[in-house]
């Protein structure tokens, strides 16, 4: 059973460029969340997708956008890249919403470097 | 004051020691508490998941939640060099992984000396 898979694993961009990161959730999971983890920090919640809609967003600007497809996979797009966007971007998936559950399973992440 | 406070360490202990990792938080709405282990350049891996106050044990790991003090702990017994990693506490007010997202601590870097 494949876990959460993310691509690409590493990428380098320059300021002002745009980037798209991709995520396939764990089999049977329908909810995908994205997190940003700067070096030496804990992950920070960007947003969550369920039924192809953004359900909740953390404190991130509109330059960060996403999409969820009918097969539950997801994309994270970041426009007008800044140096401060350099981080590990983590995708996490979870089972259908059932009270008392909700453990997030994380992928290995996409490491973005902005020069 | 940050919502979740966690000492970043590093915390270095000899093999076989009991390790205690802690987080404090300020948001009384948090009800679901998790501990993740993260190896260098890898994604976080869920270790323990608890709801509300109380203890939960899984093998060498014990998680404790004291909601009255807004304090959570993870204990590792008989620590092994393979336990060397960064340990992240995380919490949310909502089941289902948190529609409002998980709030993480900064992580504690743990080193187990052989």
User: What pLDDT is recorded for position A99?
Assistant: 44
Nearest CA of chain B to the CA of A106: how many Å?
6
Question: Greater confidence, B92 or B38?
Answer: B38
Span A5-114 CATH architecture: Sandwich (2.60)
Query: How do residues A48-90 score in pLDDT, each as one tens digit?
Result: 998 899 988 999 999 999 999 999 999 999 999 999 999 999 9
User: What pLDDT is recorded for position B41?
Assistant: 83
The stretch A37-48 carries a mean pLDDT of 94
Query: How do residues B46-97 score in pLDDT, each as one tens digit?
Result: 899 888 888 999 999 999 999 999 999 999 999 999 999 999 999 988 755 5
Q: How far is CA A114 from CA A9, A39, A89, A94, B108, in A?
A: 14, 13, 13, 30, 27
**Cα–Cα–Cα angle for A102, B21, A93, rounded to 5 degrees:** 20
Query: How do residues B24-37 score in pLDDT, each as one tens digit?
Result: 999 998 888 999 99
Q: What is the mean pLDDT of chain A?
A: 91
Domains and CATH numbers, chain B: 4-113 (2.60.40.10)
User: What pLDDT is recorded for position A1?
Assistant: 64
Q: Does B48 touch chain A if contact means CB atoms closer than 8 Å?
A: no
The stretch A35-57 carries a mean pLDDT of 92
User: What pLDDT is recorded for position B19?
Assistant: 97
Q: Cβ(B71)–Cβ(B24) under 8 Å? A: yes
Cβ contact (<8 Å) for A103 and B46? yes
User: What pLDDT is recorded for position A51?
Assistant: 87
User: What pLDDT is recorded for position A94?
Assistant: 84
Token pair listed for B4: 């979740």
Within 8 A of A35 by CB-CB distance, chain B residues are 101-102
pLDDT band at residue A100 using 50, 70 and 90 as cut-offs: very low
pLDDT band at residue A29 using 50, 70 and 90 as cut-offs: confident
* Residues whose CB is less than 8 angstroms from the CB of residue A78 and which lie 6 or more positions away in sequence, other chains included: A18, A19, A21, A63, A64, A65, A85, A112
One DSSP character per residue, B33-55 reads: EEEEEE-TTS--EEEEEEESSEE
pLDDT band at residue B98 using 50, 70 and 90 as cut-offs: low
Q: Does A102 touch chain B if contact means CB atoms closer than 8 Å?
A: yes
Nearest CA of chain A to the CA of B60: how many Å?
20
């Amino acid at each position: 059973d494949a876990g959460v898979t993310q691509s690409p694993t590493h990428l380098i961009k320059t300021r002002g460029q745009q980037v798209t990161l991709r995520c396939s959730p764990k089999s049977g999971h329908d909810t995908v969340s994205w997190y940003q983890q700067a070096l030496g920090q804990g992950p920070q919640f960007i947003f969550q997708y369920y039924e192809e809609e953004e359900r909740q967003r953390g404190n991130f600007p509109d330059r960060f956008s996403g999409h969820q497809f009918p097969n539950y996979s997801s994309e994270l797009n970041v426009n007008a890249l800044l140096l401060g966007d350099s981080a590990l971007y983590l995708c996490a998936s979870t089972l259908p919403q059932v009270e008392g559950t909700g453990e997030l399973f994380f992928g290995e992440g996409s490491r973005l470097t902005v020069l | 004051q940050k919502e979740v406070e966690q000492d970043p360490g590093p915390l270095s202990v000899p093999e076989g020691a009991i390790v205690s990792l802690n987080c404090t938080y300020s948001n009384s709405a948090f009800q679901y508490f998790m501990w993740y282990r993260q190896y260098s350049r890898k994604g976080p891996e869920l270790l323990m998941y608890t709801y509300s106050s109380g203890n939960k044990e899984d093998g060498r790991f014990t998680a404790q939640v004291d909601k009255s003090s807004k304090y959570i702990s993870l204990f590792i017994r008989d620590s092994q060099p393979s336990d060397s990693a960064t340990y992240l506490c995380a919490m949310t007010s909502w089941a289902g992984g948190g529609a409002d997202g998980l709030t993480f601590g900064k992580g504690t870097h743990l080193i187990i000396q052989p």
